[in-house]
């Protein structure tokens, strides 16, 4: 199916379905190390988010190996996934596509799940206010935050402060984008994807992406491109495992094993 898509659209297609953290760089590099820099690269991306710093590294790697980069979002590219696609020439979105707020996410103490840095900061500030007015409530809040250290709270604050820089670095990674475009899009995204959203899971669809000035390509749900992508995406959805796949590599991650 990947081969059929490449032949139909004259490009290289790679697939990444995973949370975005440091190991993603190695798996992704394995997909594009021999890519033709004079050929377009299409990345089918599905991710709940992850680390924004890694997202910038990924889009820089992709842009260095292609003529133009298109990121395809059949389902979701939340948080760090949205940061990654900010560096693309084109973002192919359909009626099911969902981007999201780019406030950072951090790993929970269990090492598996993620939490929004904004939520942790808000929870701590609410607890501080409650304890100041009702000191007897301290034991309750102490137990609720037992798994979170002061260092983690500071990491969340530092990550929030870095968000604007990550957005600009991702935008600049597109070598064909002007400085004026970078400033304009960054300003629009700061309000819509950083300042205003109160929920990290807030939906940000194709209309929202267009209004923010992102280089959106609206997929025709009845067209051959979206049909090929959707048939391919459903295979990975059923597989229900992190996957990095292309013409030269296929990595399926299961409980820490490849």
pLDDT tens string 201-248:
577 899 999 988 899 999 999 999 999 999 999 999 999 999 999 998
User: Range of 117's domain?
Assistant: 106-155
**Contact assessment for residue 170 and residue 162, using Cβ atoms and an 8 Å cutoff:** no
State in Å, rounded, how far the first CA of the chain is from the last one.
Answer: 22
Does residue 72 share a domain with residue 47? Answer: yes
Residue 161 placed within a domain: no
What per-residue confidence (pLDDT) applies to 136? 83
Residue 160 placed within a domain: no
Alpha helices (H) along the chain:
2-9, 23-32, 52-63, 80-85, 117-133, 138-144, 150-172, 179-189, 206-211, 224-239
Nearest Cα neighbor of 210 from 94, 101, 104, 103 is 94
Residue 119 placed within a domain: yes
User: Tokens in use for 61?
Assistant: 């790697």
Q: Which residues pair with 40 in a beta bridge?
A: none
CA distances from 97 to 205, 213, 230 (A): 6, 16, 11
Flag residues of the chain having pLDDT under 50: none
Does residue 206 share a domain with residue 96? Answer: yes
Does residue 111 share a domain with residue 178? Answer: no
What per-residue confidence (pLDDT) applies to 203? 79
Q: Rounded to an integer, what distance in angstroms lies between the CA atom of residue 33 and that of residue 152?
A: 35
Does residue 9 share a domain with residue 114? Answer: no
Backbone φ/ψ region at 73: left (φ over 0), alpha (ψ -120 to 50), beta: beta
User: Tokens in use for 27?
Assistant: 């798996």
Residue 66 placed within a domain: yes
Does residue 61 share a domain with residue 182? Answer: yes
pLDDT tens string 12-29:
999 999 999 999 999 999
Residue 257 placed within a domain: no
Does residue 127 share a domain with residue 195? Answer: no
Does residue 227 share a domain with residue 135? Answer: no
**Contact assessment for residue 76 and residue 49, using Cβ atoms and an 8 Å cutoff:** no
Does residue 25 share a domain with residue 90? Answer: yes
DSSP character string of 151-177: HHHHHHHHHHHHHHHHHHHHHHTSTT-
Q: The whole model's pTM is what? A: 0.83
Does residue 134 share a domain with residue 179? Answer: no
Domain count, the chain: 2
What per-residue confidence (pLDDT) applies to 112? 59
Q: What is the dihedral of CA 72, 78, 84, 86, to 10 degrees?
A: 80
What per-residue confidence (pLDDT) applies to 201? 59
251 DSSP assignment: E
Does residue 49 share a domain with residue 80? Answer: yes
What per-residue confidence (pLDDT) applies to 44? 98
**Contact assessment for residue 201 and residue 207, using Cβ atoms and an 8 Å cutoff:** no
Among 155, 190, 225, the domain boundary falls at 155
What per-residue confidence (pLDDT) applies to 199? 52
Does residue 239 share a domain with residue 217? Answer: yes
Residue 258 placed within a domain: no
CATH number of domain containing 63: 3.90.226.10
Q: Rounded to an integer, what distance in angstroms lies between the CA atom of residue 15 and that of residue 45?
A: 6
What per-residue confidence (pLDDT) applies to 93? 97
Does residue 129 share a domain with residue 199? Answer: no
Nearest Cα neighbor of 77 from 95, 102, 40 is 102
Residue 47 placed within a domain: yes
Residue 185 placed within a domain: yes
């Amino acid at each position: 199916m990947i081969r059929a898509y490449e032949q139909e659209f004259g490009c290289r297609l790679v697939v990444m379905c995973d949370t975005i953290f440091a190991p993603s760089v190695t798996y992704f590099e394995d997909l594009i190390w021999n890519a033709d820099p004079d050929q377009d690269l299409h990345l089918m991306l599905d991710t709940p988010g992850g680390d924004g710093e890694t997202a910038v590294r990924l889009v820089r790697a992709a842009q260095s190996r292609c003529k133009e980069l298109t990121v395809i979002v059949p389902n979701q590219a939340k948080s760090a996934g949205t940061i990654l696609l900010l560096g693309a020439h084109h973002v192919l979105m359909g009626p099911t596509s969902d981007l999201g707020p780019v406030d950072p996410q951090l790993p929970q103490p269990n090492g598996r799940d993620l939490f929004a840095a904004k939520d942790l900061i808000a929870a701590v500030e609410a607890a501080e206010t409650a304890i100041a007015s009702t000191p007897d409530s301290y034991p309750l809040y102490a137990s609720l935050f037992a798994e979170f250290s002061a260092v983690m709270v500071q990491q969340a604050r530092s990550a929030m402060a870095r968000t604007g820089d990550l957005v600009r670095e991702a935008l600049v990674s597109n070598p064909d984008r002007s400085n004026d475009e970078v400033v304009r899009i960054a300003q629009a995204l700061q309000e819509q994807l950083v300042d205003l959203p109160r929920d990290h899971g807030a939906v940000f669809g194709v209309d929202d992406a267009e209004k923010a000035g992102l280089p959106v390509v609206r997929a025709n749900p009845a067209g051959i491109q979206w049909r090929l992508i959707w048939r391919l995406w459903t295979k990975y959805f059923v597989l229900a495992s992190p996957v990095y796949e292309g013409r030269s590599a296929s990595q399926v991650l299961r409980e820490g094993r490849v």
